[in-house]
Each structure stands twice: as C-alpha cells, then as structure tokens.
C-alpha cells in the first residue's frame, strides 16, 4: 500500500510517521538503532538563535502511562546545528523538519531566516507551545495575537512549508489554530505536552528541577485526539497529530480524527525501533479496518455524531 | 545496526536483602567496559539504567546487580532464571583503564560498588602499584560484593554510616588517609552524589586522573533527549553547562564536572 | 494516627478520603461493598433542580491508565434526591457533600436553597467544571465573572460550607480560584475531568455517544497535582485534590502539593473497597515519609524550588 | 458485606477458535441466575462484564465463556487452570423463570448463546410446553455451545449469516415461523443489539412475556456511575429515558425498552 503523504508547498513524506521534536535529537543519536531512511520524517530538537542551557535536572519523571519532562529546550543554537548536524542529515533520505523556538518574535524569525537558506531543511515547525520555558514558548501559543505575530514573522522570511505546533493547555485551540492559519501557516501540528507536576515524596519537593513539566505519552492520547479532531473540524489546513502514539492502531485513530500524518515521541525511549514497526504494520491495520488507502482514513470520523448503537 | 535485544537470565543471586544480581548470557554486553551500563525495559514508561556488576568476555556473561528502590527495580528483582531482559547496551563512557605508574584508589558507595568490582575484575592483571579499594554503605546490609572483591585478591577497606560493619562514617576518612599517603593516585569512584561531591572536593589539585561515575534520571539512554544532564564545565555567567550522563558519562573526568 | 481533617465552617472529615462525585452514586449503590461509615465523606452524584436525562450511550471508554466518560450528569433531580436518597444517607455516619449543577445561575441557587434545609447535607460542592454538558457546567468554570456569579448566588442562600469544583481545562486556574474565593467559596476542589475524545475504529465515529468526554484516572494525576499546587499557592482556602488517586502514596502526593483532603473516583470501579485500603495504609505511609501527623504533610512541597541534587 | 473476591479457575475449555470457557469454583457465583453476569478485573482501567455460561449450584461451579474481541478478553482467554479471577458478582437482573402454561422460545446470537444455555440448564426440568431454541451466529465458528444444548436434551435450530452451518441468514426466519405457530410463546433472548431490535419488533403484540438481555459498556457494574444505560420507556418529549444495564438489566422486559 502506498503510504506517501503529500502536504502543502510540496512537502512529501514517504509515510505518515515522523519522529517528534525533542525525542529524537538531531538524527544521529538514533541512527544506529533506526534506519532513518525509512521514516516519513524527522522533526529535530527545537533550535534557537543562540545556545540554550535548558532547565536544571532532574528533567524526567515517570507517571502512569506518561512521562513528565522539563528539558527546557537545551540546544546548541542554530549555528552549531548548521555546522554539526546538517551535514549528517544531508546523507539521510527523509523529510527534515526544523523545530524552531525563540524568546521573542525576532528570535523565531532569525532562526527561520538562517535555516531558510539550508537546502536540507524541508519544512519548519514553529513551536509556540513549549510549557518548559519562562519567556516565549507557550506564551506565544496562548494568545491569538502573539501567535499570529510569530507565524507572520516566520512566513515573511521563508517559502518553505510552515507547520505551527499547538499547545493543549488552551481552552479554545480552534481560535489559535485560526489565527496561525490567517498568519500563513501551511499546517498545524498538535499536541505539545500538557503542563503537569509530580512530587518527589522522599525529597518533599517537585520532582523536576524546573518545577512543572510537560506530560507526554499514552496518558495524553485522548486529549490529543480531541484537539486534533477540533482543529481539523475548524481549519482547512492539514494537521499532524501526536500524543501517546504507540501502535499503528493509534496512528489510525489520529488519522480518523483528521490528522494527515502523526509524530511519535515518548514511545521511542522504550522501543527505539517502534516507528519502523508501526510503518510496517500500518498497511495491514488500514486494511483490517476497511480502508484501501491512507487518504480514505484521514478524517473518516469527522463530523460523525456520537455513536449510538 | 544496533537495536534493543533480549538477553536470557542464566543465574540469579541474592547478595543481600533488597538486592538481586542477575547474570545474563550476552556476548555483546560482556564486551562492555566497567562503568558502562545497559538500559532495561520494565513495565513503566521509561527503561531503567543499570551498570555492569561483572563483565566476563570469555564466557559471554554480564552481571547486573540491582537494589530494590521502587517499582522498576522491584520488577527486575522478580525476574527468574530463564526469563529474558530487553536491553539497550552497552551504553555510555566507561572508566578509563589504569595508568601503570600511579597508585590506584577505587571508591564504591552502595549501588556504586558493582562498577568498581567490574573494574577490578577487568584490570586485576594490571596491578603494578599499590591499590586501595574503599567500599561504603549506609548499613552492613548494603555493603555488597565485598567477598567478590576479596576473591579477586584485593583488600577492601569498609565503612558504614552506622558502624554495623567496618569503620563508622563515610568512605571519606579512609579516602583522605590514602590520598595523604599516596598523592600521586589515580582515582575511580561510583556512588551517591554526596559522596562524589565530597570526592570531587577532596581530589582537588591531585595530579592523577580522577574519574567519577554519576547517576541521573534518564529518558532515551542514548543521547537524544537531554534528560540525564549534570552540571558541567565550562560554567558560564548563567550557570554551569549541562552534559549528558548517558553518553558524555556516566564516567566523567573530575575536571569536566561542576559540583 | 489521628486522620481527622477540620475544614472551614465546621466541616469535619474523619479522614481525608472522600468519594468523588459521579463515581459513587448517592451512597447506597456501594453500601454493600464499602463500610460507608469509614469514609471521610461522600460527594454524591451531581444534582440539578429537575431530572436530567444525560447523554446518549456509550458513556464510557477505556484509555491508557484512564477513562473517558460522557455521563452528562444524568440525575433524578433534587426532589427525588430528597425523597429517595437522603433517608438512606441519614443512617450513614460520614460527611455528605451535595454536588450541585445547573444550566443557569438560578438553577444552581435553587438546588442549594432546597438542600440548605436538609440537615443531612454537610457541605455543597458547586460543580462549574463538567465538560459533558452543552449549556452551563464547564462554561461557568471558564469565565471568572460567571464563576463569581454562580458561587455568589449559592453563597447567598446557605451558611453551609461551599466547595467549588474547578476545571482543569483552563489556562489559568489561579484566576478562577481567586474569583470564586472572592465570591465566598470556603474551599476549592480540583480537578474535574480533562476534555478528551477517542475514536471507535470499527464504527469510524467518536467512541462516546456524546462525542467528547471527560478524562479521569491515573493518566491525569500529574495535571491534577499541578493544578492543586497552583491553586494552593495562590489562594488561602483549603483545597480538596483529586485526579487519579490509586494509593496512599498518591494521597500523600496531593497533600504535599497543598491539598487538605482528596477525593477518589475512577479506581473505585476497579476496586470497590480501595478507599478503605487507602485509609488503612495512610498512617504508615505518612510515617514512612517522616510525617508524624496529617497536617505536617499538607503543603509540604509548596514553595520549594525544583529539586537539584 | 459484598466485595470483589478471587475465584480459582478449575477448567479451561476452547469451544471454538477465538473462544475460551473458564469454569470457576465459586459457590457464590454458582448461585447466580441465568442472564446475570460478573464483572472481572483485567489489566485495563475497567472491569469486563461476562455472563454466566453455566451455573451448577450443586457443585459450586460457574462458567464464563469469552469471545476474544480486544485486550481484556485476550487477557482473560490467556488465563489457565490454577489462576484466579478477581470478580464482582453475581450482578444484575437475570432472566425470569418460565411460566408453565406457555410455549418457550429461547434465542441466542453469538456470545448471547451462553446465557441461553445457562437458562436451559437451570430450567430443563420445568418443560411442560413445546420448546424452541434458536441459535445464530455470523459463521459456523461462532456458533458455540450447540452440543451442550443438545446434551441437555433440547433441539436447536441453527442459523449462520453465511450459511456455513444451519440455515443461512439471521435467527429471525426461524423465530418468525415459531411465533406464527406458537403465538402464546414466552421469549428469552440474548445477542447483538440488531438481533434484539429485530426481536423487539417481531414480538410486538405477543401476549407472553418477552425478556431481552442487553449489552452496554460498563463502568462500576453495580449501578453507581450511570455509564451502562440503554434507551428505555417512558419516552419523554426530549427522547427516551435511560436505564442501567448493570442493575436494571441486563435482562429487560420488552415493554421497558425503547429501541
Ligand atoms: C548510569 C546508571 C547506573 C546505575 N546502576 C545501577 C546499578 O548498578 N544498580 C542499581 O541498583 N541501581 C543502579 N542505578 C540506579 C537505578 O537506575 C535506579 O535505582 C532505578 O532506575 C530505580 O527505578 P525504580 O523504578 O525502582 O524506582 P522509581 O523511583 O520508581 O523510579 C522512577 C523513575 O526514576 C528513575 N530513577 C530512580 N532512581 C534513580 C537513580 N538513582 N538514578 C537514575 N534514575 C533513577 C527511574 O529510572 C524511573 O525512571 C543506576 C543509575 C544510573 C543512571
Ligand atoms: C452484561 C454483559 C454480558 C456479557 N457477556 C459476555 C459473555 O458471556 N461472553 C463474551 O464473550 N462477552 C460478553 N460480553 C461482552 C464483553 O464484556 C466484551 O466483549 C468485553 O468487555 C470486551 O473487552 P475487550 O477488552 O476484549 O475489548 P475492548 O474493545 O478492548 O474493550 C474496551 C472497552 O469496551 C468495553 N466493551 C467492548 N465491547 C463490549 C461489549 N460488547 N459490551 C460491553 N462492553 C464492551 C470493554 O468492557 C472495555 O471497557 C458481555 C457484555 C455485557 C455488558
Ligand atoms: C523529552 C521530551 C522533549 C521534548 N522536546 C520538544 C521540543 O524541543 N520541541 C517540541 O516542539 N516538542 C518537544 N516535545 C514534545 C513532543 O514533540 C510531543 O509533542 C509530545 O511529547 C507528545 O508526543 P508523545 O506522547 O508521542 O511523546 C518533547 C517531548 C519530550 C518527551
Ligand atoms: C463516570 C464519572 C462520572 C462523574 N460525574 C461527576 C459529577 O456528576 N460531578 C462532578 O463534579 N464530577 C464528576 N466526575 C468527576 C470526578 O468526580 C473526578 O473529578 C474525576 O473523575 C477525577 O478523579 P478520578 O481520577 O479519581 O476519577 C465524574 C467522573 C467519572 C469517571
Ligand atoms: S537519557 Fe536521553 S540524553 Fe541521556
Ligand atoms: S456500570 Fe455503573 S451504573 Fe451500570
């Protein structure tokens, strides 16, 4: 079965399975565990104009069917990314999505401008939804005006496809989704992590060095599917869904809720090659549920009233 | 291509209450270096990092000595001979092997003892200078692998916080004495953070290499997620840089760290 | 160890374990499984002025470490509650909390007024956070003005303790918390369920008859602890925490995050008598973590910066 | 005081592919009535409701016949003799026993067959009027307990959707024929919703009692959460009332339902 996904501005994925930003480094880390050429794409770790230190450890904490993280977007900055990582990625045959972050509108724009010149970057994912930094990050994703500004600024400096990554910590994701589409976003990815907190009972303190953290993993899948469903029902651009994907069935759930592709994060820590297994199983799972191709599944559950048997 | 793989448990020991040692049959793991670890699948959302307690490349056996502290280690301690473990490994930077011209000081605290044993096991034929092995724990129960160390032919100076075995107090008293007597020592240490912090202080200005094996909560275990960082040099005005225990460590040179 | 919890306006709980509204009926359903007299309290199913039909089935769906429900507050109305259920509850020696709901401010007030006269009702829990109904419910909990109005209206007709139950589907729970305290709330309970959605792959539709549903269970605990921590840091009134409690350790986590008591919901479906086990184990767990009484634990992790070892 | 309790599995049968029957030793469950169910703990967040396939109060055995359809039923089907199940039960309203002066019609579809068998087993000595047992399924494989029914001494009319065993089509053809010939019948039925809906229609105006056993996704299983409702009478202008399968049912009188 052909799993190719054709997205706006010529972005083509071999299949709908993309490594989620922040869980897959810049590519080389997992290269000896996963045949990167088989992936639909890789969204690299968030990149800022200058190096960011990130948050104090501990940075991860296990929760029921979930994971709290407070990495705080540690990254070496766009220059180091270009020098150290793009050469490696140039040898890889998969879509490379640059996840970009900033404290200000200008910083987002600066990264986009720098990377626009890099042929190896196939698309941008504008992260306006990271709950783990104080300034910028999630704040931009919570205000339709600010979200508009950031996306507009990025749009002005690149003709590459622009994906905007949405926060789940919102009352009305549809409002932000509309604002970023108005600003020129070609696609929306959702969701980033939910804000959570755990207590280290022995230490009598919040378990993470950063205090709160971002909740990911299977625990958040119902919230993610709801937001994808809501966004897909409200805006016309393609949606890339994520949050707790573990299996090809989970992928199908996101597709039916309106996603054109999915990203896979936390499960990779347990099973480095799970994305490959999902890609292998997806055709059978689609067939099992009566779909003869991928596109048929996209949005298949949209607009259906609740089920009454 | 690497991948997670299954290794069979061929022996299960209970070296002390609340501790289990699993020997697995895996030539790949047995090629590991002392100080390296493997990342083991458990029912939780994250794998659990465990250092090698033994490495026997000739027989293809590797050991994993686990102290039960929570759900994952409890699950591991319940595994039986015949069960398999799903592991990533060997991972990380291990201890650098000894230089032949310097005295040795090896310091293990609690579950930091197994990597020290693995180092002694690997290097036992390379001894040419005086060797001190200092092992400490809270109580007698947690003072593991002492017999194994002695069976390799090394003496071990023991300490417990409560004096239930060996000298009362931490490892630092015998360590200080040894360093005073052998200032040219090279040092390897693994144990709880406070012990490593104390050693970091006590070894300032020492001429020999000092290698400290750290622990940190981990995500991927292979360098991708930046979860497992510890404060490191160079310190910037904003504070220390952060480096990864899983790939830049677990073993760091003293100079690399910012305690 | 004395587990008594003394709350505002003379509300006293024998212990901090209260059955969560909607998961424990009106009391008699679980009476043959649980010695009700041992519980700290029971928050009964939400009560409206007239009977509510609730949402079309299916009404529950399992998710990883969680549960989606779309009950839609089916209930027989306040008159039937008084006639059919209060007599039974009169024979039970535990705090009874009336969870009240309405489509309008007046409806909330009407239920409170009717029940204020009932000696058996020890406190009110004003539910402004149910995600499963179209009008009223969550809408009141998302707007500080409306939240204020509802709570004010209830406050005007009763001297009994008023607890306000907060939604987690908010950007700034602290803002709503302040508004309801200004309106006269004596306590805050948190959290109600997160809005989620699952797809029934076979039926190609949302799995629940109501479309979206409310996510509960261990999956949401980190979100719940975060919100309790945030509210407890921002308002001076006691907080009753809930969301995914399964064990005495979980109770301690909520206490340390600032809760004075907890409610227990979803786990009761798996283990009808789990609340009793938690009550039995709580003293040992408190001692194990170095607390010599319950109050010491309340808020023990508040105001502590993130942990750096 | 009731509570969840553990019951040992004493026999495990594989009556058809994808189906397992577990016999448990539990005098409490064996006192249950046909049409009642128990609510079984599985690794998921919710228990799983399963009807009794057999009830043998004299030996204290109860049967649970499970078709594997998802994670919970797969887990149940993997249980072995010697394992225990954590159950709540017997729960719900079972079938009302037969009236002696009316012909019997029992209809079972797919996993609705086991409760029909349990009813026949309980009532086999009370037959005084003609009896029809109609069992249907999608395919031959899913036509379970046919031999058991015959061993009790009852004839069974069989149907499969694909004609792989018995008459081709649904149970409705033989049902209609029987009702035409025996209009005074009392009816018991259990099976998929479309089958029950068809029966609900076909039995309109019948003078005898019609009892339909329904399924619905459940939370608590004991009447507290209002998860497991089905549309019921009286219909109001807003639509039907909702009643609980777990305590008001699973067995409802035809007149109570609003299909
Ligand atoms: C490089 C390395 C080597 C280690 N070697 C050993 C060893 O040889 N023997 C041994 O008994 N233990 C060792 N540990 C510690 C061991 O990983 C933890 O005790 C274990 O992960 C605890 O898991 P749990 O589920 O039992 O505890 P929980 O507290 O329930 O675990 C919850 C989470 O915290 C993490 N965590 C808890 N304690 C630690 C810790 N001390 N270090 C890192 N993560 C932690 C867990 O991995 C898990 O993600 C090592 C840790 C590291 C980083
Ligand atoms: C009163 C009653 C009696 C039943 N008796 C039997 C029986 O004797 N034999 C048998 O094989 N099955 C019976 N069922 C159906 C059985 O409960 C479901 O097949 C089972 O719960 C599916 O669980 P799963 O984890 O395998 O499937 P999944 O689809 O993974 O389950 C997900 C969730 O949906 C629920 N669910 C799925 N299908 C059904 C269903 N048909 N009815 C109710 N809930 C469902 C599950 O309980 C679970 O909460 C009965 C159902 C009810 C309500
Ligand atoms: C350790 C970790 C680091 C993350 N870092 C980033 C990041 O840098 N940029 C970003 O947009 N999302 C980041 N995320 C969010 C993920 O990309 C993804 O949105 C989220 O984890 C949900 O997917 P999952 O449940 O499959 O992990 C991170 C998630 C985790 C677990
Ligand atoms: C089936 C079900 C019904 C519920 N009904 C109500 C309700 O009527 N009123 C209310 O305030 N909360 C209701 N809730 C929310 C719970 O009281 C509680 O806030 C939530 O489930 C989180 O706790 P838990 O994870 O322990 O279940 C309901 C929850 C469930 C699962
Ligand atoms: S654990 Fe992921 S980088 Fe170390
Ligand atoms: S399952 Fe809870 S009321 Fe029926």
> From first to last of its 309 residues, what are the pLDDT tens digits of chain A?
999 999 999 999 999 999 999 999 999 999 989 999 999 999 999 999 999 999 999 999 999 999 999 999 999 999 999 999 999 999 999 999 999 999 999 999 999 999 999 999 999 999 998 766 655 566 777 888 989 999 999 999 999 999 999 999 887 888 899 999 999 999 999 999 999 999 999 999 999 999 999 999 999 999 999 999 999 999 999 999 999 999 999 999 999 999 999 999 999 999 999 999 999 999 999 999 999 999 999 999 998 765 443
Tokens of A279: 């890609």
Nearest-Cα distance to chain D for C116, in Å, is: 24
Name the DSSP letter for residue B169.
S
Tell me the C-alpha to C-alpha distance, in Å, between residue C72 and each of C133, C136, C210.
6, 12, 8
Report DSSP state, residue B51.
E
D257 lies within 8 A of chain C by CB: no
8 Å CB contact of D225 and C32: no
* Distance separating alpha carbons of residues D37 and D22, to the nearest angstrom: 14
Backbone angles phi, psi at C163, to 5 degrees: -105, 140
Alpha-carbon distance of C298 to C282, in angstroms, equals 13
Report which bound ligand comes closest to the CA of A241.
3
Alpha carbons B54 and B57: distance in angstroms, whole number = 10
Give residue D31's pLDDT: 95
The domains of chain A are located at 5-53+73-193+216-302
> Between A and C, how many CB-CB pairs are < 8 A?
178
- The answer on pLDDT for C141 being more than 80 is no
Expressed in angstroms, the distance from the first to the final Cα of chain C is 32
Show residues of chain D in contact with C69, CB under 8 Å: 219, 225, 227
Q: Say if CB C121 and CB C160 are below 8 A apart.
A: yes
Ligand 2 within 6 A of CB of D36? no
- The 3-state DSSP class for residue D257 equals strand
- Which residue on chain C is closest to D219 by alpha carbon? C269
Touch between D and C (at least 3 CB pairs under 8 Å): yes
**Closest Cβ–Cβ partner in A32, A65, A273 for B45:** A65
pLDDT number for residue C309: 38
Ramachandran sector of residue C211 (left: φ over 0; alpha: ψ -120 to 50; beta: rest) = left
| Residues flanking ligand 4, CB < 6 Å | C 20-23, 45-46, 67, 69, 71, 73, 99, 127, 130, 165, 192-193, 216-217, 220, 242-245, 264-266; D 219, 225, 227
In 3D space, the residue among C133, C78, C68, C70 whose CA is nearest the CA of residue C100 turns out to be C78
Number of the ligand 6 atom closest to the C-alpha atom of C25: 3
Q: Is the CB of C84 under 6 A from ligand 2?
A: no
Please say whether the beta carbons of A210 and A198 come within 8 A: no
User: CB neighbours (10 Å) of residue B27?
Assistant: 14
Distance in Å from the first CA to the final CA of chain B? 37
D163: left (phi over 0), alpha (psi -120 to 50) or beta: left
Q: Do C57 and D217 touch (CB under 8 A)?
A: yes
Nearest chain C alpha carbon to A303: C205
Rounded Cα gap, residues D118 and D145, in angstroms: 10
Kindly give the distance from the C-alpha atom of residue C102 to the centroid of ligand 6, in angstroms, as a whole number. 23
Q: Is the CB of D46 under 6 A from ligand 2?
A: yes
Q: Which residues of chain D have pLDDT under 70?
A: none
Residues of chain B numbered 195-254 and touching chain A (CB < 8 Å): 216-231, 236, 238-239, 241-242, 247
> Is the CB of C57 less than 8 angstroms away from the CB of D4?
no
Tell me whether residues B241 and A271 touch, CB distance under 8 A.
no
Assessment of whether the complete model's pTM goes beyond 0.90: yes
Please state, for a pLDDT cut of 90, what percent of chain B lies above it.
86
CATH of D104-256, one of 3.50.50.60, 3.40.50.80, 3.90.1010.10, 1.10.240.10: 3.40.50.80
Phi, psi values for residue C102, rounded to 5°: -165, 165
How do residues C236-278 score in pLDDT, each as one tens digit? 999 999 999 999 999 999 999 999 999 999 999 999 999 999 9
Chains with 3+ CB–CB pairs under 8 A to B are A
Q: What is the pLDDT of residues D41-68, one digit of tens each?
A: 999 999 999 999 999 999 999 999 999 9
Residue C232: per-residue pLDDT: 95
What fold is seen in the domain C5-53+73-193+216-302? TIM Barrel (3.20.20)
Note the pLDDT of residue A264. Answer: 98
Which residues in chain C have their CB less than 8 angstroms from residue D222's CB?
29-30, 33, 272
Q: Which CATH number fits domain B5-91: 3.80.10.10, 2.40.30.10, 3.30.70.260, 3.40.50.720?
A: 2.40.30.10
Q: Is D227 in the pocket of ligand 2 (CB under 6 A)?
A: no
- Residue B259 corresponds to which tokens in the numbers above? 């305690």
Per-residue model confidence (pLDDT) at position A137: 61
Of ligand 6's listed atoms, the one at least distance from the Cα of D228 is: 4
Nearest to residue A269, comparing CAs of B85, B32, B39, B250?
Answer: B39
Residue linked to tokens 């092995």: B133
Using the predicted structure, report yes or no on whether residue C307 has a pLDDT greater than 50.
no
* Residue C220 falls in the annotated catalytic set: no
- At D4, phi and psi to the nearest 5? -65, 145
Give, using CA atoms, the residue closest to atom 20 of ligand 2: D48
Average pLDDT value over all residues in chain B:
94
Q: Please answer yes or no on whether A69 and B219 come within 8 Å at the CB atom.
A: yes
Interchain contact, C59 vs D217, CB within 8 Å: yes
Of the partner residues A171, A204, A215, the one whose CB lies closest to the CB of residue C304? A204
| Token pair of D98 as six digits | 């037969």
C-alpha distances (whole Å) from D213 to each of B48, C55, D198 are 48, 22, 13
Q: Check CB contact under 8 Å for D228 and C59.
A: yes
Q: Give C181-240 pLDDT, tens digit per residue.
A: 999 999 999 999 999 999 999 999 999 999 999 999 999 999 999 999 999 999 999 999
User: Residues lining ligand 3, CB < 6 A?
Assistant: A 20-23, 45-46, 67, 69, 71, 73, 99, 127, 130, 165, 192-193, 216-217, 220, 242-245, 264-266; B 219, 225, 227
A184 CA to chain C: closest CA distance, Å?
Answer: 25
Is the pLDDT at C308 greater than 50? The verdict is no
pLDDT at B2 over 90: no
Mind giving me the DSSP string for chain C? ----EE-GGG-EESSSEEEPTTSSTTSHHHHTTS-GGGSSEEEPSPB-SS-B--PPSP-EEEETTEEEE-----B--HHHIIIIIHHHHHT--SEEEEEE--SSHHHHHHHHHHHHT-TT--EEEEE---TT-SSSTHHHHH-HHHHHHHHHHHHHH--S-EEEEPPSS-S-HHHHHHHHHHTT-SEEEE--PEEE--EETTTTEESBTTBSEEEESGGGHHHHHHHHHHHHHH-SS-EEEESS--SHHHHHHHHHTTEEEEEE-THHHH-TTHHHHHHHHHHHHHHHTT-SSHHHHTTTTTTPPPP--
* pLDDT given for residue D117 in this prediction: 97
Subunit contact A289:C218, Cβ cutoff 8 A: no
- What is the ipTM, given to two decimal places? 0.95
Angle subtended by helix axes C144-157 and C173-182, to nearest 10: 30
Burial class (CB in 10 A: 0-12, 13-18, 19+), A116: middle
Q: Where are the domains of chain D?
A: 5-91, 104-256
Q: Which ligand is closest to the CA of D223, given by its number?
A: 6
């Amino acid at each position: 079965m052909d799993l190719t996904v054709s997205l706006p501005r010529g972005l083509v994925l071999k299949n709908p399975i993309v490594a989620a930003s922040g869980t897959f480094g810049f590519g080389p880390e997992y290269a000896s565990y996963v045949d990167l050429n088989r992936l639909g794409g890789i969204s690299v770790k968030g990149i800022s104009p200058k190096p960011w230190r990130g948050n104090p450890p501990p940075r991860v904490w296990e929760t029921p069917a979930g994971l709290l993280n407070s990495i705080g977007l540690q990254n070496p900055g766009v220059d180091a990314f270009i020098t150290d990582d793009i050469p490696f990625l140039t040898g890889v045959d998969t879509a490379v999505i640059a996840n970009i972050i900033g404290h200000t509108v200008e910083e987002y724009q600066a990264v986009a401008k720098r990377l626009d010149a890099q042929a190896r970057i196939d698309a941008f994912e504008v992260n306006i939804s990271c709950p783990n930094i104080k300034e910028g990050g999630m704040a931009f994703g919570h205000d339709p005006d600010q979200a508009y500004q950031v996306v507009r600024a990025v749009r002005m400096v690149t003709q590459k496809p622009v994906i905007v990554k949405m926060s789940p910590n919102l009352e009305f994701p549809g409002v932000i989704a509309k604002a970023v589409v108005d600003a020129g976003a070609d696609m929306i990815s959702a969701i980033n992590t939910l804000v959570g907190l755990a207590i280290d009972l022995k230490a009598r303190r919040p378990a993470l060095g950063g205090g709160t953290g971002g909740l990911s993993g299977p625990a958040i899948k119902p919230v993610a599917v709801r937001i994808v469903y809501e966004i897909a029902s409200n805006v016309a651009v393609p949606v890339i869904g994520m949050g707790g994907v573990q299996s090809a069935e989970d992928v199908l759930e996101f597709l039916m809720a309106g996603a054109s592709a999915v990203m896979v994060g936390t499960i990779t820590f347990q099973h480095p090659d799970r994305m490959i297994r999902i890609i292998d199983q997806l055709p059978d799972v689609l067939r099992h549920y009566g779909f003869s191709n991928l596109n048929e599944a996209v949005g298949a559950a949209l607009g259906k009233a609740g089920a009454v048997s | 291509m690497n991948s997670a793989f299954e290794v069979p448990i061929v022996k299960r020991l209970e070296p002390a209450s609340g501790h289990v040692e699993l020997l697995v049959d895996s030539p790949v793991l047995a090629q590991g270096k002392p100080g390296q670890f493997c990342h083991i699948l458990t029912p939780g959302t994250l794998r659990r990092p465990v250092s090698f307690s033994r490495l026997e490349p000739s027989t293809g056996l590797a050991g994993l000595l686990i102290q039960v502290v929570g759900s994952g280690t409890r699950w591991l301690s319940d595994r039986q001979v015949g069960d398999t473990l799903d592991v990533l490994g060997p991972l990380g930077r291990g201890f650098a092997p000894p230089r032949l011209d310097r005295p040795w000081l090896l310091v293990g605290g609690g579950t930091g003892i197994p990597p020290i044993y693995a180092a002694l096991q690997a290097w036992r034929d390379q001894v040419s200078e005086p060797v001190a092995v200092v092992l400490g724990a809270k109580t007698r129960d947690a003072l593991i692998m002492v017999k194994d160390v002695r069976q390799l032919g090394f003496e071990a100076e023991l300490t417990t916080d409560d004096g239930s075995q060996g000298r009362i107090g931490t490892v630092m008293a015998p360590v200080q004495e040894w360093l005073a007597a052998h200032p040219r020592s090279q040092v390897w240490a693994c144990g709880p953070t406070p012990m490593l912090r104390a050693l970091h202080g006590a070894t300032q200005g020492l001429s020999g290499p000092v290698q400290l094996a750290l622990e940190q909560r981990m995500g991927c275990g292979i360098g991708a997620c930046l979860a497992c960082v510890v404060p490191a040099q160079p310190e910037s005005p904003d504070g220390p840089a952060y480096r990864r225990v899983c790939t830049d460590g677990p073993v760091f040179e003293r100079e690399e760290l910012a305690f």
